[in-house]
Amino acid sequence: MSATARETGTGPGATPPDVVPGEPEEVVPGEPEDGPRPGRLPRRLPTLPPAARAHARAYLPPLALYGVTKLVGLSVFAVLLEAAGDYRHRPPRFGGGAHWWDVLGTWDGWWYLQVAQNGYEPRLAALPPGGVFTVQQNSVAYFPLYPALIRLVSRLTGLGPYGSAMTVSVVASFVAAAGIFAVVRLLAGARAGTVAAGLWAVAPGAGVEWAVYSESLYVALAAWTCYLVMTRRWAAAGVVALLAGLNRPTSAALIGAVGLAALVTLARPRARREHGIRGPVLAMVLAPLGLLGYIAWVGLSTGEPGAYFILQREGWAHYFDFGSYTLHVLGNLAVGRHDYLFAFGFPDVLSVQLVLALPFLITLMLRRRPPLVLVAYTLASVVAVLGTQQMFGNTMRYLLPVFPLLLAPAAALGRLKWPSLAVFFTTAAVASGWYAHYVIFELGIP
């Protein structure tokens, strides 16, 4: 028999092209076992191309490590909550509830659920003078993308607001872990990318990843924006950055990083030839539209152009002060005092340790020469966090989106054998139930 006949399955004894040698043929119910009736094709389930299957399989280890690590940390958190029992005596809005999991939907989570259920009522209402806050807090301080997804999931699934919010957060956290893996894999290999996904699960402040908070969604958008810029998908990067601008005000750091990377690309003739002009320009134009559009909407809705910033400053005491508040807190904690606004013991001490580690982490990251978009995003995010007056104990949460800081530790830990990594992540997962969950939700205000 000729080679052509064997390949096409036309010769005697040849294997039919739809049959894999060594595997049984699919028998269609209601048809003879010796094959389908003439004129009918056998029904086959659609499958992904081999390349797509291999690509998808690459994400299984980091997502499995992330999920297991988060489950362990959350379980320890639940045990600690039940052991203390303090949450049962607190208002449902401020860290309390009938069940331990209700705690995950309090504080900022309460605001997001209100927006998802009732929408916005934009206004600036003055409070009596003499207090810390001079303007009544309003839901427009919380950006719309996360509550919009909560409402969408609720309508599609029939889940209540809390269940829908947790669904959005958990799914987004896995998308974020996949994005972190994708970015780190490009720079340090798949093993380091897997470790980075696991490190993000146990990072300080990681307790809000599986809570009614918008951090997981923002990190998912930020990580994939950076990945798209690194892989020269400029227009897509601009669209995803636009969505990030509808999710959190800190997206300004991401938007600036995308714009700077695009400008540098356009300024270099060789890079301009490789990337083209249209893509980087589109990214620069699209990226800021979400953030600027929402802030403009708040101004128009309240009749005050700077309403969003007034509300942040006068209603939450959050504003950029070039680091004055951070230095004041560090000075107080250095001598064992708590003479500063929003003082909380354990969260503040842990946040100090993280702040002191930042120069080391940034230096290690820069030594690996990451792309400009990662450098700009990291530095702008750190400056925004340390240069703003806000609850210092939440510095752990505010720095959670700065995932490029995981690059160097992940590359170093990636050299260990898996038994050693298993011990590390088991220990870290258990400990994270306290420092990344309990400290934030029970010993401070997340």
What pLDDT is stored for residue 44 in this prediction?
58
What pLDDT is stored for residue 12 in this prediction?
42
Distances (CA, A) of 53 to 183, 186, 247, 402: 20, 19, 32, 30
Residues 6+ apart with CB under 8 A from 48: 56
DSSP letters spanning 318-365 = -EE-TTHHHHHHHHHHHTT---SSS--HHHHHHHHHHHHHHHHHHHHH
DSSP letters spanning 218-268 = HHHHHHHHHHHHHTT-HHHHHHHHHHHHTT-TTHHHHHHHHHHHHHHHHHS
Nearest residue to 185 via CA among 418, 362, 424, 411: 411
What pLDDT is stored for residue 40 in this prediction?
52
- How many separate helices (H) and strands (E) can be counted in the chain? 21, 2
For the chain, 446 residues long, give each residue's pLDDT as a single digit of tens.
444 444 444 444 444 444 444 444 444 444 444 444 445 545 555 666 777 787 889 999 999 999 999 999 999 999 999 999 999 999 999 999 999 999 999 999 999 999 999 999 999 999 998 888 999 999 999 999 999 999 999 999 999 999 999 999 999 999 999 999 999 999 999 999 999 999 999 999 999 999 999 999 999 999 999 999 999 999 999 999 999 999 999 999 999 999 999 999 999 998 888 888 999 999 999 999 999 999 999 999 999 999 999 999 999 999 999 999 999 999 999 999 999 999 999 999 999 999 999 999 999 999 999 999 999 999 999 999 999 999 999 999 999 999 999 999 999 999 999 999 999 999 999 999 999 999 999 999 99
The answer to whether 200 and 423 are in contact (CB under 8 A) is no
d(CA 288, CA 239): 10
The answer to whether 140 and 309 are in contact (CB under 8 A) is no
Q: Which two tokens stand for residue 206?
A: 């990681």
The answer to whether 421 and 409 are in contact (CB under 8 A) is no
Determine the 3-state secondary structure of 23 from DSSP: coil
What pLDDT is stored for residue 11 in this prediction?
44
d(CA 349, CA 61): 34
Residues 6+ apart with CB under 8 A from 115: 139, 142, 144, 147
Residues 6+ apart with CB under 8 A from 261: 229, 280, 371, 372, 373, 376
Distances (CA, A) of 75 to 3, 78, 426, 430, 437: 61, 5, 13, 9, 10
The answer to whether 308 and 319 are in contact (CB under 8 A) is no
What pLDDT is stored for residue 15 in this prediction?
41
Residue with tokens 């354990």: 346
CA angle centred on 72, ends 70 and 75, rounded to 5°: 105
pTM for the model: 0.88
d(CA 333, CA 59): 42
What pLDDT is stored for residue 46 in this prediction?
60
What pLDDT is stored for residue 84 in this prediction?
96
Q: Half-sphere exposure of residue 430, counting CA atoms within 13 Å on the CB side?
A: 5
Q: Which two tokens stand for residue 387?
A: 């240069």
Residue with tokens 């947790």: 166
What pLDDT is stored for residue 1 in this prediction?
44
d(CA 438, CA 347): 10
